[in-house]
Amino acid sequence: MKGSLRTDSISVVTLGCPKNLVDSESILGRLHRAGYSVSPDVEDASLVVVNTCAFLTASQQESIDTILEVAELKKQGRLKRLIVSGCLAERHGDAILDEIEEIDYLLGPGTYDAVVDVADGLLYGDLARGSRVGHLDRDPFDWEPRVVSGHAHAAYVKISEGCNNTCTFCIIPKLRGKHRSRPIEDIVHEVERLAQAGVKEITIVAQDTTSYGLDLYREFALPKLLRAIDQVQGIEWVRLLYTYPRYWTDDLLACFGELRTLVPYVDMPIQHASDTVLKRMRRGSGWQATRELLEKIRNAAPGMSLRSTVITGFPGETDAEFEELLSFLRDFEFDNLGAFAYSTEDGTPAGEMAEQVDEELREERRARVLTQQRAISLRRNRRQIGRTLRVLVDSIDETRPVAWARHTGQALEIDGQVFVKVSGAGPKSPGVQRGEFVDVRIVGAGPYDLVATPEAAVAAIPKEIEV
């Protein structure tokens, strides 16, 4: 079918993590290149793709609730077709079709390349209601460019798909397949296109970023990739998410002091700090080695920010094991920390373990971790007061003289922000523009966010009245 014959508009709803957002942008890119127009509003679209998450029970419920909301538009005759894609489709397959009759088609993560054929068949042909799942061994990186959504100056870049780790609490390998790396030249080509489009910050994502390249190059090739990206003109910041403790190398540590673009920020989910719990989780690294690595990373570059996530209430977690975790988090002081109460998931080894911890206790322990971390983050943020930081402006309030920005230690839509006091509201605020870097003086701090004034404005204040 020629693109000129495609008169319908498409909208994609994304749920879950940044990796899912990249998938949605790839889906939109393929449909847009085929001739479909893209609608940011599902109510104006002829076909909606709901790209789902199914990592946890809560995320599955959120996916189902969203599907039902979109299905209402179809019941009302305002929507022609509904496709459900992503991990929920892969995890439950045709059972979803049986439960929600408004769904026209399912596409799993291994069959996104069929999205144009499916859309054409549903809208202009006689494609029957059905599903395409499986094929998790296919090359997932053959359909760029994406339609980048959200911020024009910041984008995620997925460097691999799937995962070879066997963590007992995680179902991702069953939903995404084995680890498959993307060639360095393909990634660099995409980064170059993004830079040409005005993107200044790249955040590297994958199920396990530090194992990048092992399948293609028989080595941990993340340092080579980072050095190649460092040569791309226009890119100012490169950020690493989802690093796995076992696969860090000295060469990767050296990149933080060597490369102009790699910001001093590392996200490394440790999950726990008790060897016995980590063994039940099948994390693959002893706790002492992980702790030593964290110290090395913290010392790898000035101003290093470390983010992690932990799980409370894992099967069999004793009071003593939880106290080990709490004690380490108190002593080490992560800059940013997420905590999740363990979720019993069907299809995972942990879900079948004896000694499942009571749900109320899981949540109670999670609350204790977050309460402790709130005080830690507040203390660390207060150390920033009086300092001058370079920040990237994400947006400017339309009605108030405030801009939202981030310094190198704050990942987009994951960590806190810097609230910058500016001289006017709206996108044309003097001296501060969306997508631009600006030097600011930190004047206030909370447990998550900082408050700042543009350094140029501070410099204009007479020294005797500067505060």
Which of 29-43, 228-242, 376-390, 441-455 has the lowest average pLDDT?
29-43
Q: Are 191 and 235 in contact (CB under 8 A)?
A: yes
Q: Is the pLDDT of residue 458 over 60?
A: no
Please determine whether the domains at 154-381 and 388-465 fall in the same fold group of CATH: no
Angle, vertex CA 253, rays to CA 252 and CA 255, nearest 5: 65
Give pLDDT tens digits for 39-81: 989 999 999 999 999 888 899 999 999 999 999 999 998 999 9
Beta-strand ranges (E) seen in 75-229 are 81-86, 105-107, 130-132, 154-158, 160-161, 180-181, 201-205
Structure token pair of residue 24: 């949605």
* Rounded alpha-carbon distances, angstroms, from residue 394 to 24, 156, 158, 389: 21, 15, 21, 15
Q: Is the pLDDT of residue 334 over 80?
A: yes
Q: Is the pLDDT of residue 405 over 90?
A: yes
Phi, psi torsion values for 398, nearest 5 degrees = -75, -20
CATH number of 388-465: 2.40.50.140
CA distance 100 to 104: 9
CA distance 90 to 137: 13
The CATH class that applies to domain 154-381 reads: alpha beta
Give pLDDT tens digits for 337-383: 999 999 999 889 999 999 999 999 999 999 999 999 999 999 999 99
What residue segments make up the domains of the chain, in order of their start?
3-132, 154-381, 388-465
Q: Is the pLDDT of residue 427 over 60?
A: no
pLDDT of residue 143: 52
Structure token pair of residue 425: 């509201």
What is the average per-residue pLDDT within 8-31? 92
| Protein fold of 3-132 | Rossmann fold (3.40.50)
Q: Has 87 been labeled as part of a binding site?
A: yes
Which of 68-82, 251-265, 411-425 has the lowest average pLDDT?
411-425
Torsion (CA) 332, 336, 341, 344 in degrees, nearest 10: -100
Q: Has 255 been labeled as part of a binding site?
A: no
Q: Which amino acid is at 4?
A: S
Give the torsion sign (CA, 29, 30, 35, 39). Answer: negative
Q: Has 167 been labeled as part of a binding site?
A: yes
Model's pTM, two decimal places?
0.91
